[in-house]
A and B are shown apart, each in its own frame.
Chain A
Amino acid sequence: MKGSDYISNAQNTWCPGCGNFVIQHTLKDLLAASVPPEEVVIVSGIGCHAKIADYMQTNSFYAIHGRGIPVATGIHLGNPALTVICSAGDGDAYAEGLDHLIFAAKRNVDITVIIHDNRVYGLTTGQYTPTSPAGFAGKSTPGGTQEDPLNPLDLMLASGATFIGRCYSRDKKGMQTVLTQAVQHKGFSFVEVLQVCASFYDAHDCYDEHVYTPEDHDPTNRDAAEQLIREWNYTGPGRIALGVLYTRDAMTFEERMLAGKEGTIDRTGIIRNALSGR
């Protein structure tokens, strides 16, 4: 199939220059090369990122704020043959739905979670998020935030994620490499995209200066991964490592949950069995 077959005819309403376009087109290209649209499900939350569900001509579940991940987990358990890609925003995954993100990593659900992290609430017009830099002056914090940002990659490492990657929305090629591996990875893939919001937090200059792709990094080396992940703490300068930063092999949630669950349910048998003891 062609990449354009993966784009729906819904009218696109992202702002010109929004980093979401790059994510959408990267996804479209990598899916066109590997999975037919009817076998892909895009699950999204609420926010600018979430419109990707409308814009992709694939199966989709346009869910609610913060809840894309449990929906995606349910879909995957319901039919593990589907390729489930969950798009989430930073408000979505790090604020409203943080518990789900941590548990998806803990469970090693075989889904790919792409965080469209623009470090600002776009669709609600510019409030701070869990990854906004300290002192961020948004509409709800005109005097600057009084808290430090979270390092989500560090959190994911601690939560047991088996694939951690980071990309930048101005580096489509790098994104293609990371996302392709993420979708192929058997287990929970966490990809944080530094997705620039052209309207409310244009961090191009900072990223252009600080991002780099480390050479000779062995993503199976947890200590090395941790070091790279901690190089930048989402505030101030610091080198921002891109690429696949960590991977490991582990049993997936569905391998554990669905073992021995094949076949049809003998309903009368279960009920008769239950009644015999009562």
Chain B
Amino acid sequence: MKDISVCIGGQAGEGINKAGLLLARILSYSGYRIYMYYDYPSLIRGGHNYAVIRGSADERGAVSGSPDIVCALDQETVRRHGGKSAVIFDSDVVKAEGTAIPATTIIGEEKSPPIARNTVLIGAFCRAAGIPPEIMEDAIRHEFGKKADGNIRLALRGYHAGEEVMPIEVSPGNGLPILTGNDAIALGLIRGGLDAYVSYPMTPSSSILHTMATLAEGTPLLVIHPENEIAVITMALGLSYAGKKVAVGTSGGGFCLMNEGVSLAGMAEQPVVIVMAMRPGPSTGMPTYSSQGDLGFVLHAGHGEFPRLVVAPGTVAEAYEWSARILHLAWQFQIPAFILSDKNLGEHPASAAIDLEFPMPVPSAISIPQTYHRYCSTPDGISPFIPPPLKGNVVKVNSYTHDEQGITTEDPDTASVAAVKLIRKGAALEQQMGHFGCVEVEGVIDAPVALVCFGSTAGVCREAGERLGLRVVRVIVLEPFPLAQLGTSLRGVEEIIVVEENATGQLNTLLRTYGYRSSRRIGSVSGRPFGVSELVLRIQEVLQ
């Protein structure tokens, strides 16, 4: 079976993420599908950073047990990850058993910067795993571009200083792109018709902003970074009013600030897509770690009652597809629509098969009425949505309860009509969502015990489910809640185990609201994703 895990660790500022990506590329070129976990505290220098790269024949979305090989740039890496693994270490600074590589001496001789030590160890890893140097060179060329030559020299020195430890099966190929969830969200939004992205930096959503800003250069795509999250969402609503398809991105703390804008979008029926990347809270929490603790917050964000769409993709490919789709749906229904993500989905690269030409629905043509009323009442609650200027007409949108023209009202009948129109629109949305796969069933699809989960635990639950012979039911669309689809997915299930990375069981609560009782709940609040072996153990515990 093709499955290998390699860990590289050192201090912040030693290029661990970049090194992880290079290892990922090497394994990808060796014929593996990869998943990478990157762990870093919220600091710029020092501390302990590490990446675990897993290569597998199948798509994997989690790390398994301890890594097979550890590349240690510092003693801490050996201490934390050394255990049962083969260790390759910089023998100039680290004491360990295993493959000693004088990486610091080598970069001194090559007059390379200290950050290049990781490349030397990666060379030694390739030797250890029996990966041909040509593959290593290709991967370095891909990752380093113009600076490849120097790095290839360093990697080859590591390669020749190393030794073969556990050769893996190598079948050159696998050209799948390696994307993070955030990359996929950015590309999906672009595919879906995005005209503008507005965001204030906040981990773990920031890399969407960075990617978008780079991709937008020299194109008509607009990327704006305003003064704060309140400006982000209100500016986005202005763009939306002017006819642009727009998305914003943030994390919990920033989303707190955006809430008034969410209510405004709901009342004004001004569409916007909000990427909400969860991290542990409350307040600043652990900025660089992950959580599924904001599900309830997003489901209930804003005040008052209005329809919304909340989608939690679980894989990189899903993130692409649903980001494209949600933009379309937000505009079709003129609602705030959420992509609920987290650090574990957003920041961890994986091999991803995505469909470049993912077909987008074509919006139906709106006939321009003689007299346009922005909020004209219709059977499905969806009013024609036309941006200004519209000759002979004005377009009035309003945060107050309003009549069909958009003029403020407090008249009881008009107010009731307006509120009911929103609710009708919610029903129309719910009906429309029936056409999409809002629930994913994996593992043993007719097993009597089901793991129920959402979002980034997709990969780990799938694998644990496969190992234990369980059904894995994942709710992708959380609002409107796909009650009928969930019913079908859980047919014949005798026991439900809910797995989620929070303390209070927010998905569990949601399920209970709809009449589904779990017998067990597995939670985690460490900020780290479940590993497969860990989750298997936890499930076995609750099954006994």
Interface residues of A, Cβ cutoff 8 Å to B: 8, 10, 37-39, 41, 43, 46, 51, 53-54, 57-64, 67, 70-79, 81-82, 99-100, 103, 257-258, 260-268, 270-275, 278
10 inter-chain pairs at a CB distance below 8 angstroms, sorted by A residue, are A37-B394, A59-B389, A67-B260, A70-B231, A70-B234, A74-B238, A81-B389, A100-B230, A258-B222, A267-B193
Given A74-B234, A82-B389, A257 and B177 touching (CB < 8 A)? no
Are the CB atoms of B260 and A75 closer together than 8 Å? no
0/1 interface trace, chain B 218-233, chain A, CB 8 Å (1 if under)? 1111101011101100
Given A70-B230, A78-B244, A270-B221, A59 and B400 touching (CB < 8 A)? no
> How far is it, in angstroms, between the C-alpha of A39 and the C-alpha of B389 when the chains are bound?
6
Q: Is B478 located at the chain interface by the 8 A CB criterion?
A: no
Are the CB atoms of A77 and B224 closer together than 8 Å? yes
Q: How many A-B residue pairs have CB under 8 A?
A: 180
Are the CB atoms of B183 and A278 closer together than 8 Å? yes
Are the CB atoms of B240 and A74 closer together than 8 Å? yes
Q: Which residues of B contact A54 (CB under 8 A)?
A: 396, 398, 407-408
How many residues on the B side are at the interface (Cβ–Cβ under 8 A)? Answer: 63
> How far is it, in angstroms, between the C-alpha of A60 and the C-alpha of B400 when the chains are bound?
13
Q: Which residues of A contact B260 (CB under 8 A)?
A: 64, 67
Given A38-B389, A63-B264, A70 and B395 touching (CB < 8 A)? no
Are the CB atoms of A72 and B227 closer together than 8 Å? no
Are the CB atoms of A79 and B243 closer together than 8 Å? yes
Q: Is B108 located at the chain interface by the 8 A CB criterion?
A: no
Are the CB atoms of A70 and B226 closer together than 8 Å? yes
Q: Which residues of B contact A264 (CB under 8 A)?
A: 220
Give chain B nearest CB distance to A26 CB in angstroms. 19
Are the CB atoms of B241 and A64 closer together than 8 Å? no
Chain B contacts with A in 195-247, Cβ cutoff 8 A = 195-196, 198, 211, 215, 218-222, 224, 226-228, 230-231, 234-244, 246
Are the CB atoms of B237 and A274 closer together than 8 Å? no
Q: Which residues of A contact B354 (CB under 8 A)?
A: 275
Are the CB atoms of A265 and B221 closer together than 8 Å? yes
Contact of A60 among B238, B240, B264, B397 (CB under 8 A): B397
Are the CB atoms of B241 and A75 closer together than 8 Å? yes
Q: Which residues of A contact B357 (CB under 8 A)?
A: 268
Question: Which of B235, B240, B354 gathers most chain A CB within 10 Å?
Answer: B235
Q: Which residues of B contact A103 (CB under 8 A)?
A: 226-227, 231
Give chain A nearest CB distance to B283 CB in angstroms. 21
Are the CB atoms of A60 and B396 closer together than 8 Å? yes
Given A70-B238, A261-B220, A10 and B244 touching (CB < 8 A)? no
Chain B residue with the shortest CB-CB distance to A71: B238
Are the CB atoms of B389 and A74 closer together than 8 Å? no
Chain B contacts with A in 240-295, Cβ cutoff 8 A = 240-244, 246, 260-261, 263-264, 268
Are the CB atoms of B222 and A77 closer together than 8 Å? yes
Give chain B nearest CB distance to A94 CB in angstroms. 16
Are the CB atoms of A263 and B220 closer together than 8 Å? yes
> How far is it, in angstroms, between the C-alpha of A79 and the C-alpha of B183 when the chains are bound?
28
Given A100-B227, A266-B219, A74 and B241 touching (CB < 8 A)? yes
> How far is it, in angstroms, between the C-alpha of A75 and the C-alpha of B196 when the chains are bound?
12
Q: Is B390 located at the chain interface by the 8 A CB criterion?
A: yes
Contact of A74 among B186, B236, B356, B406 (CB under 8 A): B236
Give chain B nearest CB distance to A71 CB in angstroms. 4
Are the CB atoms of B392 and A38 closer together than 8 Å? yes
Q: Which residues of B contact A99 (CB under 8 A)?
A: 227-228, 231
Chain B residue with the shortest CB-CB distance to A37: B394
Given A62-B400, A100-B227, A38 and B242 touching (CB < 8 A)? no
Are the CB atoms of B222 and A257 closer together than 8 Å? yes
Q: Which residues of A contact B378 (CB under 8 A)?
A: none
Give chain B nearest CB distance to A136 CB in angstroms. 27
Q: Which residues of A contact B396 (CB under 8 A)?
A: 53-54, 59-60, 62
Q: Which residues of A contact B234 (CB under 8 A)?
A: 63-64, 67, 70-71, 74
Q: Which residues of B contact A78 (CB under 8 A)?
A: 196, 238-244, 387
> How far is it, in angstroms, between the C-alpha of A76 and the C-alpha of B226 when the chains are bound?
14
Q: Which residues of B contact A275 (CB under 8 A)?
A: 177, 179, 187, 354, 356
Give chain B nearest CB distance to A10 CB in angstroms. 5
Q: Is B470 located at the chain interface by the 8 A CB criterion?
A: no
Q: Which residues of A contact B103 (CB under 8 A)?
A: none
Q: Which residues of B contact A273 (CB under 8 A)?
A: 215
> How far is it, in angstroms, between the C-alpha of A8 and the C-alpha of B394 when the chains are bound?
10
Give chain B nearest CB distance to A123 CB in angstroms. 12
